[in-house]
A and B are shown apart, each in its own frame.
Chain A
Amino acid sequence: MKPAPFSFVAPESLDEVIQTLAAHGDDARILAGGQSLVPLMNLRLARPEVLVSINRCDELDYTRLSGDRLVVGALVRQIDAETSPLVGAECPLLATALRYVGLPATRNRGTVCGSLAHCDPLAELPAVALALDAELVLTSSAGERRVPAHDFFVAEMTTCIEPGEIVSAVAFKRQDPSERSALREVSNGGNVFPVGGVALRWASADGTCTMARIAAFGVGSVAQRLIDAEEALVGTDLSPEAIAASVAAARNAVNPTGDMHADAEYRRHLVGVLVERCLAEGASE
């Protein structure tokens, strides 16, 4: 099918973008890479009246450090973040995750912020944002607000973005070089949507786990931080017993549904398996 008619504007600055959004409110949608939005428009599941392309806003194409954060602008393509030495050094979990996102041809165009704003329950990047204590920078004509990832993702395809706002950047917590992290997912063959996945990051000092972040995706309506599973690790020596407790807590925390790809119990079991595998993978780095 073809998209329903819409009008198109391509502002050249963030200022113009937010003015355009202010004028059109709920009727407007941002077009960045479009790799999730355009399929929905082709299927007429999305019918925005005004499409505001940010592809001319060169000022939004940046990746830079700011204090303890790595800030990725709204126009940074997934492929460029994936291959960026800065991302690889400061947020290796993000670089790892990007290799799983979509396909090479969609990563060439799709953006990091676009995937977060889209909030697909099967997407890797929302879980990475949770695991990296990210803050979403929402900009509108009223100014700027920073929203922690765990408040940003609300439900399937639903975030706290208000009409008139754009995700102008995302600020990930920089990973300490001593930190470990991993992302694992399972899919039914090939580079297709996963049936479930886990992103995990932790730190240890003198053999004791001092911090853990565990986020699951694909096993609920929205990416989810598994705080009980994190707490089961912190303060332990990551012994088999501690890991087993974390695995049990992870399975307890999720509320998956079944579909033709996997039933609910499979997904619940899978979350635990992936927590274990992430810990093993990160430990062997």
Chain B
Amino acid sequence: MTEDCEVTVTVNGRRHHSRVEPRRLLVDYLRHDLGLTGTHIGCEQGVCGACTVLLDGRTARSCLHFAVAVDGSEIRTVEDLAEVDQLHPIQEMFHQKHALQCGFCTPGFLLTTLELLESTPDPDEATIRETLMNNVCRCTGYANIVDAVAEAAVELRRGHQS
């Protein structure tokens, strides 16, 4: 009765067609079936945000979705950010501002930041902090992450002007 289901999704611009067990979580589908291990699994109950991806342009916990239930969706993961030899400006600023220590939570923070800066190019600190409630970091104490997001916003605005 728990038959495998067909699923077609576009991940980072590439279409994938698979047969998966209904209980396959999106995060496990990305990691195990597609080999995209940049998306991390933390709490598996939607609290920590390490598994955050963009699902049809909006942040989503990939541990709280079944792959079969997002059939037809467009997904962006952390692998979509950097070019071959060049970090995305958000990644570059996380690097420069020491916004990570162990780095486990970072992929989720990067996607949350991407969603924020795509909709709000010039966020104030309160907006940045409210947005970052989506994600938990147990190393940095957040100060450097807030700085990195603010600097990334400046960098992205500069990029758009040039």
Give residues in A with beta carbon < 8 Å to B: 1-8, 10, 31, 34-35, 38-39, 41-43, 49, 51, 53, 55, 79, 103-106, 108-109, 190-191
Contact B49 A38 (CB under 8 A): no
Q: Which of A6, A105, A191 is in CB contact (< 8 Å) with B112?
A: A105
In the assembled complex, which residues on chain B have CB atoms less than 8 Å from the CB atom of A8?
Answer: 5, 22, 66, 68-69
CA of A18 to CA of B155 in the docked complex: distance in angstroms?
A: 51
Report the minimum CB–CB distance from B41 to chain A (whole Å): 10
Please, which residue of chain B has its CB at the minimum distance from the CB of A50?
B1
Contact B22 A7 (CB under 8 A): yes
Contact A6 B23 (CB under 8 A): yes
In the assembled complex, which residues on chain B have CB atoms less than 8 Å from the CB atom of A108?
Answer: 55, 58-60
Does B65 have its Cβ within 8 Å of any Cβ on chain A? yes
Report the minimum CB–CB distance from B158 to chain A (whole Å): 26
Decide: A104 near B133, CB < 8 A? Known: A7-B3, A8-B22, A43-B45: yes
Decide: A42 near B69, CB < 8 A? Known: A7-B22, A8-B22: no
Count A-B contacts at CB 8 Å: 90
In the assembled complex, which residues on chain B have CB atoms less than 8 Å from the CB atom of A31?
Answer: 66, 69
In the assembled complex, which residues on chain A have CB atoms less than 8 Å from the CB atom of B28?
Answer: 2
Contact B25 A2 (CB under 8 A): yes
Decide: A10 near B69, CB < 8 A? Known: A42-B44, A105-B49: yes
Identify the 5 closest CB pairs spanning chains A and B, nearest first: A8-B22, A39-B45, A108-B58, A5-B2, A105-B59
CA of A145 to CA of B43 in the docked complex: distance in angstroms?
A: 39
Main secondary structure of the interface of A (DSSP, over half): loop
Contact A191 B68 (CB under 8 A): no
Contact B22 A109 (CB under 8 A): no
In the assembled complex, which residues on chain A have CB atoms less than 8 Å from the CB atom of B130?
Answer: 191
Contact A10 B2 (CB under 8 A): no
Contact B55 A109 (CB under 8 A): yes
Contact B23 A35 (CB under 8 A): no
In the assembled complex, which residues on chain B have CB atoms less than 8 Å from the CB atom of A191?
Answer: 130, 133
Contact A2 B23 (CB under 8 A): yes
Type the 1/0 row for B1-13, where 1 means its CB is closer than 8 Å to any CB of A.
1110100000000
Which residues, 27 to 68 on B, are CB-close (under 8 Å) to A? 28, 44-46, 49, 52, 55, 58-61, 63-66, 68
Q: Which of B5, B52, B69, B71 is in CB contact (< 8 Å) with A105?
A: B52
In the assembled complex, which residues on chain A have CB atoms less than 8 Å from the CB atom of B69?
Answer: 8, 10, 31, 34, 51, 53, 55
Contact A5 B45 (CB under 8 A): no
25 contacts between A and B (CB under 8 A): A1-B44, A5-B2, A5-B21, A5-B22, A7-B2, A7-B3, A7-B22, A8-B22, A10-B68, A10-B69, A10-B71, A34-B64, A35-B46, A35-B61, A35-B64, A38-B46, A38-B64, A39-B45, A39-B46, A51-B22, A51-B66, A105-B112, A106-B61, A108-B58, A109-B64
Please, which residue of chain A has its CB at the minimum distance from the CB of B129?
A190
Please, which residue of chain B has its CB at the minimum distance from the CB of A31?
B69
